[in-house]
């Protein structure tokens, strides 16, 4: 299971990087919603990693300096991989969401959610890119594996 999670985080890292690249290349064409959503996509992975590690989290919708997004993506990737390699994936973590409500989930559930969440928002980002006249990024997992 751990190997599969590592593979999925490699996929997530790769396509987050590609999305940042396309946005950077077309920065004058994208709107604030696109910038907000790429930030949110990266922020969420940082938040889930930090919840697992009981560390300080980003704000859900904080806007980071665009030039820092690749570094945030790399830090998220490295953090997620370290969690996968060094954790009992069945361990239950108690955490609070952004509204202060307490929840409990396994590390596996939290990590899988972070992957799925990123995939969902990259789909939304592709729709925004297309609306701005920018060629969407082909992010299907099967194409990544070919």
Q: pLDDT tens digits for 56-105?
A: 999 999 999 999 999 999 999 999 999 999 999 999 999 999 899 999 99
Q: How confident is the model at residue 47 (pLDDT cuts 50, 70, 90)?
A: very high
Please tell me the distance from the alpha carbon of residue 43 to that of residue 39, in angstroms, as a whole number: 6
Find the CATH number of the domain harbouring 130. Answer: 1.20.120.450
Nearest to 73 by CA among 11, 26, 29: 11
pLDDT of residue 66: 98
Q: How confident is the model at residue 121 (pLDDT cuts 50, 70, 90)?
A: very high
- Residue 47 half-sphere exposure toward CB, CA atoms < 13 A: 20
Q: How far is CA 73 from CA 40, 95, 96, in A?
A: 12, 23, 23
Mean pLDDT of 28-43: 98
Could you tell me the two tokens for 84? 């996968």
Nearest to 34 by CA among 20, 48, 46: 20
Q: What percent of the chain has pLDDT over 90?
A: 99
pTM of the model: 0.95
CB 58 within 8 Å of CB 76: no
Q: How confident is the model at residue 113 (pLDDT cuts 50, 70, 90)?
A: very high
pLDDT of residue 12: 98
Beta strands in 46-121 (DSSP E): 92-96, 102-106
Domain count along the chain: 1
Q: Write down the mean pLDDT value for the chain.
A: 97
Please tell me the distance from the alpha carbon of residue 76 to that of residue 17, in angstroms, as a whole number: 12
Domain residues for the domain of 123 are 2-145
Q: How confident is the model at residue 22 (pLDDT cuts 50, 70, 90)?
A: very high
pLDDT of residue 110: 98
């Amino acid at each position: 299971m751990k190997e599969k999670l590592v593979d999925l985080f490699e996929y997530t890292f790769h396509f987050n990087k590609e999305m940042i690249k396309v946005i950077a290349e077309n920065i004058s064409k994208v709107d604030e919603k696109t910038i907000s959503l790429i930030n949110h996509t990266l922020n969420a992975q940082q938040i889930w990693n930090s919840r697992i590690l009981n560390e300080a989290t980003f704000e859900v919708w904080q806007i980071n300096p665009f030039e820092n997004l690749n570094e945030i993506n790399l830090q998220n990737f490295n953090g997620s991989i370290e969690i996968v390699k060094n954790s009992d994936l069945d361990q239950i973590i108690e955490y609070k969401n952004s509204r202060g409500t307490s929840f409990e989930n396994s590390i596996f559930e939290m990590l899988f959610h972070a992957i799925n969440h990123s995939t969902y928002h990259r789909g939304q980002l592709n729709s925004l890119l297309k609306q701005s006249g920018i060629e969407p990024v082909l992010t299907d997992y099967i194409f990544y594996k070919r």
